[in-house]
Amino acid sequence: MLSIYILTYNEEVDIGPCIKSAMLSDDIMVVDSCSSDRTVEIASCYPVRIVEHAFESHGKQRTWMLDSVTPKYEWVYILEADERMTPELFAECVAATQNPDYIGYYVAERVMFMNHWIRYSTQYPRYQMRLFRHGKVWFTDYGHTEREVCNGTTSFIKETYPHYTCSKGLTRWIEKHNRYSTDEAKETVYQLQKGDVNWQDLFLGKSEVERRRALKDVSLRIPARPLTRFIYTYFFLGGCLDGQAGLAWCTLQAFYEYLILLKVWEMKYSRSQQSAVSSKH
C-alpha cells in the first residue's frame, strides 16, 4: 500500500473524481491552498484527511506538505486535482515499492485536451517525479513549477496517468498560464544572466528527464521562441496528427511563449527605468 497526497486550489470541478480515482489507497491526504470555492466542502464528503496551507510556490508547497503532513505508509504518490489515478498505474506503483534498489519513480502524463489525448505535441512521454519513499525526495522552485531533489537512485513507471489540463474551461487555463508566465519570465531572466546549458545532458542524457531539462535551457536562448515552439510541436513532434485539438494546443503553447517574452521585456525595461532614476539621484 502507499499514501496519496492530492494538491488543490479551487478545484471543486475535479476534486470529487480525483479522490474517487485515488481511493485504491486507504490513506489520502488533501493539501488545499486555502480555496475560496467548494473544494474543501466536497473533499470532506470522502474518507480523506484535509489540511489547508497558504500557497507560496509549487516547490515550497510540496516541501511543506512532506514535512508537515505525515503519511500512513513509507511510500507516497503526489496527485494533482486535474489528474487521475488508474487501477493499472496503482498496481504497478505498489509493485515498484517492493524494489529496494530505488527510492523514487518518474511517471508520465497523458495530456487530455478538448476530449482528446494530445499524443504527439506534448513530448510524450514526459515524466514527473510522483512516487517515492517519504523523506528521500524534496522539491525546489523552477519557473512556475518545481524540480525534485532525490537522495538515492530513481527509475521509471511504465503506466501513465491522464491529466485533464482544461477540465475547468479555457478561461481558467488562460488565467492560470498568465500567472505561470510571470514565474517563467523571472526564471528566463535569471537563466539568461546566470544559468548555462548542459550540452552533455542534451545529447547524451541518461533519461528523458535530463534531456528535456537541458532542452528547456536551450529553448530560453532561441530567437523567435513562440514561432519556433509552434513549428517544433506542430510539425517536428507531429502535433498535426493530433487533429483540431493538436492545432489548438500548439497555438496556445506558442501564445504562452509569447506572453513570457513580453513579460521578460517588461521586467528588463522596468529595471532599466529604475536604474536610470537611481542614477539621477
Q: 73-105, pLDDT tens digit by residue?
A: 999 999 999 999 999 999 999 999 999 999 999
Nearby residues of 161 by Cβ (< 8 Å), 6 or more positions away: 79, 83, 84, 85, 86, 89, 107, 108, 109, 110, 130
Stated pTM of the model: 0.86
Q: Give the rounded distance of the alpha carbon of 136 from its chain centre.
A: 20
Percentage of residues of the chain with pLDDT beyond 70: 98
Q: What is the pLDDT of residues 135-181, one digit of tens each?
A: 999 999 887 789 999 999 999 999 999 999 999 999 989 998 999 99
> What integer pLDDT is reported at residue 201 of this predicted model?
80
Cell readout for 39 is 473544494
Residues 6+ apart with CB under 8 A from 143: 180, 183, 184, 186, 187, 188
Predicted confidence band at 280 (pLDDT cuts at 50, 70, 90)? Answer: low
Q: What integer pLDDT is reported at residue 239 of this predicted model?
A: 96
2-37 confidence digits (pLDDT tens): 999 999 999 999 999 999 999 999 999 999 999 999
Among residues 111, 76, 77, 81, the alpha carbon closest in space to that of 16 is found at 81
CATH class of 3-163: alpha beta
pLDDT of 211 above 90: no
**The pLDDT of residue 250:** 97
Question: For residue range 43-73, what is the model confidence (pLDDT) as tens digits?
Answer: 999 999 999 999 999 999 999 999 999 999 9
Q: How high is the pLDDT of residue 277?
A: 65
Whether pLDDT at 279 is above 90? no
Question: How, if at all, do strands 3-8 and 75-80 pair?
Answer: parallel
- The residues that bridge with 132 in the sheet, in sequence order, are 76, 104
Query: What pLDDT, in 10s, does the model give residues 188-199?
Result: 888 888 878 787
Contacts 24+ apart (CB under 8 A), 189-194: 189/264, 189/267, 189/268, 191/217, 191/220, 192/220, 192/221
pLDDT tens-digit series, residues 212-250: 778 878 888 888 899 999 999 999 999 999 999 999 999
Instruction: Concatenate the DSSP letters of all residues of 69-133 into one string.
Output: S--SSSEEEEEETTB---HHHHHHHHHHTT-TT-SEEEEEEEEEETTEE--STT-SSPEEEEEEE
Per-domain residue ranges for the chain?
3-163, 170-279
Give residue 129's pLDDT.
Answer: 97
Reading the block at residue 88, the C-alpha cell is 493499472
CB-based burial label for 108 (10 Å; 0-12, 13-18, 19+): buried
